[in-house]
Structure 1
Amino acid sequence: MTPQLTQSRPAQQAAASLPQRRSRWTGRTRRDFFVFLALALPNLILIAVFTYWPLINNVYYSTLDWTLGATSATVVGLDNYVAFFSSDDAGRVLGTTAVFTVVTVGGSMLLGLLVSLALNSKVRGTTFARSAVFAPYVLSGVGVGLVWLFIFDPGYGVLAWILRGLGQQSPQWINDPQLALVMVIIVYVWKNLGYCAVVYLAGLQSLPKDVMEAASLDGANGFRRFLNVSLPLLSPTTFFLLITTMLSSLQAFDLIRIMTPLGNGTSTLIYEAYLQAFGAYNRAGYSATVSVILFAILLIITVVQLRFVERKVHYS
């Protein structure tokens, strides 16, 4: 006979005292999972179809020598990337993109912060001023571009009329490549500083009052309180605006398209992709290459900001 193994009473008591492992796939867990699928799956499908699938296709198109509208294309591998980085236009386009992004992001955030400080004061008319400052941000970029194009027109514009009244000649804003970039930057900053101002205003109004009162009791004046207390506490707001405004500036298109249709000195990466595909070249494969390069830059900037810049953010 095979001997039967029995446990002693202390061993049985110890085993009985151990918590019983419950199955993780209970009826409630199963119900919550299906609710999650019902709510998230349609959005995931839409994101996959309209975001990731076009992105994958665009990467594939960047390896083709394809003229827009043609029924056939030739696989050229990385030749389009080599052609872009070895061309004279690469430095011009990347430089224009860098200048436009840095100046518009810095200008919008700096002016937005100054405007938010003014709007944070408790005086009559601040509600109307907040609406007036934020209004340009929600206006159509096409409409804004057309209005400002009339203002900057060197022959018939409002600015030219004012300068002629002062005995001065109007600069050739549209024809001069450098001035055209300055013109677009001015309009873009004017349109987007309201967004930065409203976000900074929300950050200023959420600052802890006890900390500000403690700094005031310690003898810190208004400038010192802002520099040493308010500005560090606004670092999460600044970090958020840095990411959103930089991504927005790198993808700015409508104002550039309306104010400088030929990209005279204002060809950023996204506008260069448009010109290559829908301009006089019809180089769809090359345009896809420029778009992939822009996506890579956006991805790198976002990762660097989340990995390194966020370390300097104070959340408490």
Structure 2
Amino acid sequence: MTGNSTAHSAALRRKRRRERARTLAFLSPWLIGFGLFFAYPLASTVYFSFMKYDGFTAPVFSGLKNWDYVFNHYPFFWQGLRNTLWLVVVMVALRVAFGLGIGLLITKVKTGAGFFRTAFYLPYLAPPVAATMAFAFLLNPGTGPVDHLLGDLGLPQPGWFNDPSWSKPALTLLALWGIGDLMVIFMAALLDVPREQYEAAELDGAGAWQRFRYVTLPNISPILAFAVVTGVIQTMQYYTQAIVAGKVASGVIGGSGQQFEPGYPHGSTWTLPQLVYNLGFQRFDTGSACVVALVLFAVSMAVTSALLRRRSAFLLDGAALESED
């Protein structure tokens, strides 16, 4: 009996080893990619954040000097962080609301829905640099047609990309113009909501807002969460539009010998990715650039985790309400 038990245990161990080996084999492409493109770069960023390194000479350990410089002496860090968080809160919220609203409207259109889908989706396909330059021309306070139209209507004429108070709202308008990606995602989710649920709500006397609140939102909540989380991650990496708008508005669009003030006007378009580029590739201060990159990563993770926890709480509350009903 003892021999049989020992043989049986050995066979079970061999089976578990084979299962673990098979599982690792299937996971190996992901594990290799995770290690090469996430774990190793993250570990290297942490390592260099404690080093004095200019990209040419060997790194030298400097302790917390890079962290102290970024938080206490680098003049653009706090303004760049505030600008980035402003864009995350305002731009992401408006893009999600606007994309959902456009998706709802187009799903209700009886004729010409294909034309409207195409018209709203095409701006999303425009290259970011070309779209930003076009917006900078349209919103130019001196020659742009938008301010001319506002003046003819007797309305205030903002400075847009040339005014620190209006530069971020102008970037938000540019983001809303290219709302086609979210519109398509929300349309697919809205069309997937079971029609019988709307019919049952109507029979119970629910109005339009009640149907939206108690039928539409619960069904599309995973898509809403996806749109918000991916929007936060994309906006935390916001770089191209802000730098191009600042260059065009300041009159610097290329050529050697031209001076450009990053963050134009008056630092209002600084974002954290721009600070990483400024420190790492313009000042050759790789250690401080890694500090900003780690702050960007930490803020992105914190905001994303908070959003996911909030969505889980929302779903639990919704399930509790349904069970009470």
What is the 5 A alignment of 1:64-83?
64-67=51-54, 69-83=55-69
User: What do residues 124-147 of structure 1 show as CA deviations (whole Å, max 9, x unaligned)?
Assistant: 111221232223333321221122
Does the CA contact (< 8 Å) of 2:50 and 2:287 recur in 1?
Answer: yes
Describe how 1:181-200 pairs up with structure 2 within 5 A. Answer: 181-191=168-178, 193-200=179-186
Residues 1:277 and 2:280 aligned together: yes
Aligned to 2:115: 128
In the TM superposition, what whole-angstrom CA distance separates every residue of 1:218-265 from its partner, at most 9, and x where no partner exists? 112222211232223322222221211111111111111211242121
Is 1:23 aligned to 2:9, yes or no?
A: no
For the Cα contact (< 8 Å) 1:61–1:288, is it kept in 2? yes
Cα deviations across residues 167-215 of structure 1 (Å, max 9, x unaligned)?
Answer: 7885333332222222112212322x32222222222112122221111
Q: Normalising by structure 1, what TM-score?
A: 0.81
| Aligned partner of residue 282 in structure 1, secondary structure | coil
Q: Which of the residues 52, 67, 89 maps onto 2:39?
A: 52
Q: Which residue of 2 aligns with 1:159?
A: 146
Corresponding residue of 2:205: 219
Contact 2:50 2:61 (C-alpha < 8 Å) held by counterparts: yes
**Alpha-carbon spacing, 1:229–1:59, altered in 2? closer, same or farther (3 Å):** same
* Shift, 1:81, TM fit: 1.8
Cα distance in structure 2, aligned partners of 1:32 and 1:86: 50
Tell me which of 194, 202, 208 is aligned to 2:188. 202
1:234 aligns with 2:237: no
Measured in 1, the distance between the counterparts of 2:144 and 2:224 equals 37
Matches within 5 A, 1:113-124: 113-124=100-111
CA RMSD of aligned residues (A): 3.1
How far off is 1:163 after superposition? 4.6
What's the counterpart of residue 94 of structure 1?
81
Residue 143 (1) aligns with residue 130 (2) = yes
- Are 1:291 and 2:293 counterparts? yes
Q: Is the 8 A contact 2:51 2:60 kept in 1?
A: yes
State the distance in 1 between where 2:65 and 2:20 align.
50
Residues 127 and 45 of structure 1, relative CA distance in 2, 3 Å threshold: same
Amino acid paired to 1:152 = L
Q: Which amino acid aligns with 1:263?
A: G
Give me the whole-angstrom Cα distance separating, in 2, the residues matched to 1:139 and 1:26. Answer: 55
1:243 maps to what in 2? Answer: 229
Report if the CA contact (8 A) 2:132-2:241 is conserved: yes
SS in 2 for 1:120: helix
Task: Classify 1:45/1:125 alpha carbon distance in 2 versus 1 (closer, same or farther; 3 Å).
Answer: same
Kindly provide the CA deviation profile for residues 41-67 of structure 1, in whole angstroms up to 9, marking residues without a partner as x.
234323321222122111111112233
Cα offset for 1:275? 2.0
Report which stretch shifted further, 157-166 or 114-123. Answer: 157-166
| Residue correspondences, number | 295
Q: Are residue 180 (structure 1) and residue 141 (structure 2) matched? A: no
Which residue identity is paired with 1:233?
N
Following superposition, the deviation at residue 117 of structure 1 comes to 0.9
**2:250 aligns to what?**
none
Give distance in 2, aligned partners of 1:181 and 1:282.
Answer: 28
* Aligned residue type for 1:272: L
Structure 1 counterpart of 2:314: 312
